[in-house]
């Protein structure tokens, strides 16, 4: 347990890149900058969770609970596949404890609002997307600290992992329930206002990420990005891409239709980076986490770019096939309906009715060839 005797500032010395990973801690120790970023991240998280709550309808939630496929997919994707993927990548690239905790934290986060927007663009199942995002957010209250505790055992002898604030993580997750509940209430009583808040929350995702990049880039300088090793950049590129693939494979195992496969794929690969940033910023001392505060921002950049490429590919190559499939289903329905009508007429034509004068009615049998 020699790691416990080390001073906190030396927490980044656990691996070959440890010294560089802890770099930037002095800059993050600036009180005014630290407080400003904390306020920005906290407000962005509240707006995001409020928008998520506004997207949830109680009727749809009840239907999904009676047939909890979305809940099961959220559980398997966000708290089985992604944490295991983050753990394996941290081992493969031999990350030290600072980078490993940042990667694990991002991998254990629930789904984010970006997946809801992308699901619309690829003609996905919006009800499934929203239910998966909401379900994973609620499940994260219990499963996210559990996953962090399980997968951080490999680095247990290091100072950062021994100081891993699981209680603070749970408290941060619990604080997100209030804006979610408020959003659900707004959706129930004021649907139009809820629609507006959903749009605001989606735009706040983009504005927050851009603002954080600008603030950290201009105030801390390019030296901050230089402290992040190439292996962390590689993980930021590979992790969302692998998440999209795992989600699609998971939906294939459940034999879901193509539009649901696209939805589950996006839900699995898109993490709630605002929540990850808030936990890193609000629960870890800046001198410990150092420049790895930037990892969820890098992840957000690459997950957005890769999802954008998928949307572009679908618009160029997949949309026509989707329309043809939909049209084919409608034509089949019409043909079946016409055949049914014809069969009904044939079955009931045992005789024809003729009317004569004085309102008399006669039945004339029709001969049927056998």
Q: 191 versus 286: which is more confidently predicted?
A: 191
User: Would the pLDDT of 285 be above 90?
Assistant: no
User: Would the pLDDT of 27 be above 60?
Assistant: no
User: Would the pLDDT of 160 be above 60?
Assistant: yes
What's the CA gap between 281 and 274, in Å, rounded?
Answer: 10
Q: What pLDDT is stored for residue 248 in this prediction?
A: 93
Residue range 41-317 in CATH 1.20.1530.20: yes
Q: What pLDDT is stored for residue 282 in this prediction?
A: 75
Q: What pLDDT is stored for residue 53 in this prediction?
A: 80
Q: What pLDDT is stored for residue 277 in this prediction?
A: 82
Average pLDDT over residues 29-57: 72
What's the pLDDT tens digit per position in 81-117?
A: 999 999 999 999 999 888 898 999 999 999 887 887 7
**HSE-CB of 140 using CA atoms within 13 angstroms:** 33
Average pLDDT over residues 22-43: 59
Tokens encoding 196 = 């507006």
Q: Phi and psi of 17, rounded to 5°?
A: -105, 15
Q: Which of 42, 210, 16 is closest to 99 using CA atoms?
A: 16
Q: What pLDDT is stored for residue 323 in this prediction?
A: 53
Query: Which of 204-208, 331-335, 355-359 shows the lowest mean pLDDT across its residues?
Result: 331-335
Assess contact for 72 and 137: CB atoms under 8 A: no
Query: Which of 182-196, 199-213, 325-339 shows the lowest mean pLDDT across its residues?
Result: 325-339
Assess contact for 97 and 11: CB atoms under 8 A: yes
Q: What pLDDT is stored for residue 69 in this prediction?
A: 82
What's the CA gap between 293 and 44, in Å, rounded?
Answer: 16
Q: What pLDDT is stored for residue 23 in this prediction?
A: 47
Q: Which of 225, 195, 363, 243 is closest to 291 using CA atoms?
A: 225
Q: What pLDDT is stored for residue 200 in this prediction?
A: 83
What's the pLDDT tens digit per position in 207-226?
A: 777 777 676 666 655 666 66
pLDDT category at 353 given cuts 50, 70, 90 is very low
What's the CA gap between 25 and 290, in Å, rounded?
Answer: 4
The overall average pLDDT reported for the chain is 74
Query: Which of 12-21, 42-51, 246-255, 321-330 shows the lowest mean pLDDT across its residues?
Result: 12-21
What's the CA gap between 275 and 305, in Å, rounded?
Answer: 19
Cα angle at 149 between 152 and 49, to 5 degrees?
A: 110
What's the pLDDT tens digit per position in 242-283?
A: 999 999 999 999 889 999 999 999 999 998 888 888 888 777
Contacts of 29 (CB under 8 A, 6+ apart): 286, 287
What's the CA gap between 82 and 338, in Å, rounded?
Answer: 49
Average pLDDT over residues 118-123: 85
Assess contact for 272 and 48: CB atoms under 8 A: yes
């Amino acid at each position: 347990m020699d790691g416990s005797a080390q001073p906190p500032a030396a927490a980044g010395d656990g691996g070959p890149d440890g010294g560089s990973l802890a770099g930037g801690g002095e800059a993050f120790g600036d009180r005014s900058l630290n407080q400003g970023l904390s306020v920005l991240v906290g407000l962005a998280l509240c707006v995001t969770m409020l928008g998520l709550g506004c997207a949830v309808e109680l009727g749809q939630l009840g239907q999904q609970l009676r047939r909890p496929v979305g809940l099961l997919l959220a559980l398997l994707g966000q708290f089985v596949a992604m944490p295991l993927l983050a753990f394996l990548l941290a081992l493969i690239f031999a990350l030290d404890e600072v980078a490993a905790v940042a990667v694990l934290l991002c991998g254990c986060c629930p789904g984010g609002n970006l997946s809801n927007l992308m699901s619309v663009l690829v003609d996905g199942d919006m009800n499934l997307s929203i239910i998966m995002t909401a379900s994973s957010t609620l499940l994260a209250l219990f499963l996210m600290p559990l996953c962090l505790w399980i997968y951080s055992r490999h680095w247990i002898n290091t100072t950062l992992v021994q100081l891993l604030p699981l209680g603070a993580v749970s408290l941060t997750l619990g604080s997100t329930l209030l804006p979610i509940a408020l959003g659900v209430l707004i959706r129930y009583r004021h649907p139009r206002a809820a629609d507006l808040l959903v749009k605001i929350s989606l735009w706040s995702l983009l504005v927050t990420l851009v603002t954080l990049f600008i603030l950290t880039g201009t105030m801390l300088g390019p030296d901050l990005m230089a402290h992040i090793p190439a292996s962390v950049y590689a993980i930021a590129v590979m992790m969302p891409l692998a998440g999209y693939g795992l989600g699609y494979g998971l939906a294939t195992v459940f034999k879901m239709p193509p539009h649901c496969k696209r939805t589950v794929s996006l839900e699995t690969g898109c993490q709630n980076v605002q929540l990850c940033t808030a936990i890193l910023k609000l629960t870890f001392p800046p001198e410990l986490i150092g420049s790895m505060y930037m990892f969820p921002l890098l992840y957000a950049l690459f997950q957005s770019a890769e999802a954008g490429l998928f949307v572009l590919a679908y618009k160029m190559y997949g949309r026509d096939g989707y329309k043809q499939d939909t049209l084919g289903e409608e034509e089949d329905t019409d043909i079946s309906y016409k055949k049914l009508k014809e069969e009904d007429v044939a079955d009931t034509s045992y005789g024809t009715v003729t009317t004569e004068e004085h309102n008399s009615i006669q039945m004339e049998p029709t001969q049927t060839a056998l």
